[in-house]
Structure 1
């Protein structure tokens, strides 16, 4: 067991070191998935007190901020702004107040204008709401960019700007909001690369799907402590960073689907024994599937479809106890074990169509299977000879990593 775990740790560490040697180590500055499935990250429930030494924003400041924002709203079909009249901001529709425990009176604790269909822009004065813990603007028609003053939103934990018309590069200012744990920018028109610092922040949920982000996924993806990351439906290129294997063990869902990713699925995927959703469909990934996929004991949705993967589906994958849906269609797989044929009796969705599996129906025409793509691709794998042991992978890997000298 120790020998097998050590070998996996060595292989993964070698991958990361090789990647970092090729990339300059520098600064990071530069669910709903289309019609598909996915889970919704549920935030809230955590109260972050104002940072020590900060001054509480009073309702007069809140009034100034909200009236400035009201003046930047150009369309309001539901007439929400008609309630934003007078100095009692706590009576405004979509504005929520809380009573201060220090006796300093009520304050604006959140703004929730989801599905309000407002058109307009965000204004700098919103930074006066320094005690606001959530700002939810899902499904409106806000455009432009995120003001730099948002860095002063010291208590903000949840920022949801999804399903709007924001554009431009990744809003760097969001990385300077000190207590942010939930960032949702999906279904907008953001473009360009992601800053590496995004994955150095203590964000628990990162939703960036359905934008126009491009370039390579930052190599330090593995630094993120997030439990949910959605990068689907963008224009990312290059490999899935090998540092994936060093992410927090609490990772539940990660989605890379519908990008332009190439190379191998990292061997480190098997370290996430609590992962429930892994979707890399609609990319150009090649090579054999890593044996460590059979360690994903809690996986429910495993979607590898519409890639260029080859080899045999690992025997233990079809025996994973929590599987609800396994999709490997439209690849170049050459076979699977008898256990996979039993999935139908477990009421597990299993789609293996359009592969190169002899004797099975709905497979590719033989001429397409004569030239397997990526046949010479060198995907680092655990050396064979012993059965794969999943239990202590993370501990052994972390031990090996901590004993490795840091790069100068």
Structure 2
């Protein structure tokens, strides 16, 4: 919450500062700056914006009036301010008037509860750098004309009623670094190109995406990826183990994933949150999990994982929450005992002599016991830096596309 508030404040500051100060601060990724009224002296400076101020604002007027006409419910009466040609006075619309050619630079209608659709005419606002529409009731699909948003850096369409397949048009936005589609009704497969884009944040959770996670997954330079609460199936791509060190949070929870946790996990990443719970993963935990020295939350619950939970995992220096309930683990080390007071839940496993375990008949046949999980030979004790260096010699990892 604190991080969100700071990022939101930076956005508002960028919209209000003169251009030299904006350049000094830079553009930060955020999730909303609140509904406000443009004051005629805000908005990011867009390189290469062209056309007269009259044509820029005329186009904006056409776009916003077309959008207004498609909105069927406005409980907060926000659109009451959308009257007349002075679009910079509209609530939720932010303009840059510091140049010789004023233009609409951003739209923030988060939590406006508007009901309607996204109209193709919005592409006339081709200079905007942020479009925040979190928590409304927009339905339908994302218009193909949004490909004209060549300066758009942040697209937040979360918590709406949008539908259709993954909006491929978002991959045609060359400046996009923040993509938030969570809590909608999108369905179908994820495109291979998604993880080749230079996105720093990818939020796709709580939709109806299905099929396998593309093998390009490991190419993503993102710091946060949330795929939770979908219908994704198949294995976690092996490329997951070789992702960028920038990755801090990855959530796979509540899908239909099978197979093993990739051996490479932990070698290169500096993940702080890893949640694979409520899937059907099998096999033993890879030794390389012990390389996750920055991990704070590790949730393995409600899978079919087996074997022992070793000292090296329970002794991870930053670990605050380890959840392994509802698996087939057969033991854990003494070091894990120190986690009992910080929420370590080992119930519903197959640990001899412990309470709250599965009945013995269930433990006699371990799901996936015949599955041969690929394991990279590792030195004992595991030296993560050495392993990363040696593994990279034999692993051809495609680089991200420009």
TM-score (norm 1): 0.84
Query: Separation in 2 of the partners of 1:52 and 1:116?
Result: 31
Q: Is the 2:267–2:385 Cα contact (8 Å) retained in structure 1?
A: no
Q: Is the 1:190–1:211 Cα contact (8 Å) retained in structure 2?
A: yes
Tell me which residue corresponds to 1:195.
191
Q: Is the 1:273–1:298 Cα contact (8 Å) retained in structure 2?
A: no
Structure 1 residue 258 corresponds to structure 2 residue 239: no
Tell me which residue corresponds to 1:269.
265
Tell me which residue corresponds to 2:27.
46
Tell me which residue corresponds to 1:106.
102
Structure 1 residue corresponding to 2:221, chosen from 218, 225, 242: 225
Query: Separation in 2 of the partners of 1:387 and 1:75?
Result: 63
Within 5 Å, give how 1:168-183 maps onto structure 2: 168-183=164-179
Q: Is the 1:323–1:348 Cα contact (8 Å) retained in structure 2?
A: no
Aligned residues: 364
Larger mean Cα displacement after TM superposition, 384-393 or 44-53: 44-53
Alpha-carbon displacement from aligned partner over 1:107-147 (angstroms, at most 9, x marks no partner): 21111111111000001111111221110101100000011
Alpha-carbon displacement from aligned partner over 1:78-134 (angstroms, at most 9, x marks no partner): 11110101111111111112234xx31432111111111100000111111122111
Q: In structure 2, the residue corresponding to 1:168 is in which secondary structure?
A: strand
Query: Separation in 1 of the partners of 2:137 and 2:305?
Result: 40
| Cα distance change of structure 1 residues 246 and 330 upon mapping to structure 2, 3 Å threshold | same
Structure 1 residue corresponding to 2:68, chosen from 64, 70, 78: 70
Q: Over the residues paired in the alignment, what is the CA RMSD in angstroms?
A: 2.3
Q: What is the CA-CA distance between 1:365 and the residue it aligns to?
A: 0.9
Unaligned runs of 5+ in 2: 12-25, 29-43
Query: Separation in 2 of the partners of 1:206 and 1:283?
Result: 20
Query: Separation in 1 of the partners of 2:6 and 2:121?
Result: 29
What stretches of structure 1 move > 3 A for 4+ residues in a row? 38-45, 47-57, 392-404
Q: In structure 2, the residue corresponding to 1:245 is in which secondary structure?
A: helix
Alpha-carbon displacement from aligned partner over 1:177-199 (angstroms, at most 9, x marks no partner): 11000000000001110110101
Q: Which has the higher contact order (CA 8 A, sep 6+)?
A: 1
Structure 2 residue corresponding to 1:280, chosen from 271, 276, 279: 276
Tell me which residue corresponds to 1:291.
287
Query: Separation in 2 of the partners of 1:385 and 1:222?
Result: 24
Q: In structure 1, the residue corresponding to 2:265 is in which secondary structure?
A: helix
| Cα distance change of structure 1 residues 211 and 315 upon mapping to structure 2, 3 Å threshold | same
| Cα distance change of structure 1 residues 151 and 49 upon mapping to structure 2, 3 Å threshold | farther
Tell me which residue corresponds to 1:374.
368
Unaligned runs of 5+ in 1: 1-30, 32-37
TM-score (norm 2): 0.86
Query: Separation in 1 of the partners of 2:294 and 2:188?
Result: 34
Query: Separation in 2 of the partners of 1:50 and 1:39?
Result: 24
| Cα distance change of structure 1 residues 65 and 385 upon mapping to structure 2, 3 Å threshold | closer
Query: Separation in 2 of the partners of 1:281 and 1:39?
Result: 25
Q: Is the 1:249–1:271 Cα contact (8 Å) retained in structure 2?
A: no
Tell me which residue corresponds to 1:5.
none
Query: Separation in 2 of the partners of 1:105 and 1:50?
Result: 10
Structure 1 residue 208 corresponds to structure 2 residue 219: no
| Cα distance change of structure 1 residues 316 and 226 upon mapping to structure 2, 3 Å threshold | same
| Cα distance change of structure 1 residues 107 and 313 upon mapping to structure 2, 3 Å threshold | same
Query: Separation in 1 of the partners of 2:361 and 2:201?
Result: 44
| Cα distance change of structure 1 residues 295 and 144 upon mapping to structure 2, 3 Å threshold | same
Query: Separation in 2 of the partners of 1:99 and 1:219?
Result: 45
| Cα distance change of structure 1 residues 301 and 126 upon mapping to structure 2, 3 Å threshold | same
Tell me which residue corresponds to 1:96.
94
Alpha-carbon displacement from aligned partner over 1:17-72 (angstroms, at most 9, x marks no partner): xxxxxxxxxxxxxx9xxxxxx99995855188645586587212111111111011
Q: Is the 1:252–1:275 Cα contact (8 Å) retained in structure 2?
A: yes
| Cα distance change of structure 1 residues 174 and 204 upon mapping to structure 2, 3 Å threshold | same
Tell me which residue corresponds to 2:380.
386
| Cα distance change of structure 1 residues 53 and 71 upon mapping to structure 2, 3 Å threshold | closer
Q: In structure 2, the residue corresponding to 1:58 is in which secondary structure?
A: helix
| Cα distance change of structure 1 residues 380 and 152 upon mapping to structure 2, 3 Å threshold | same
Within 5 Å, give how 1:138-149 maps onto structure 2: 138-149=134-145
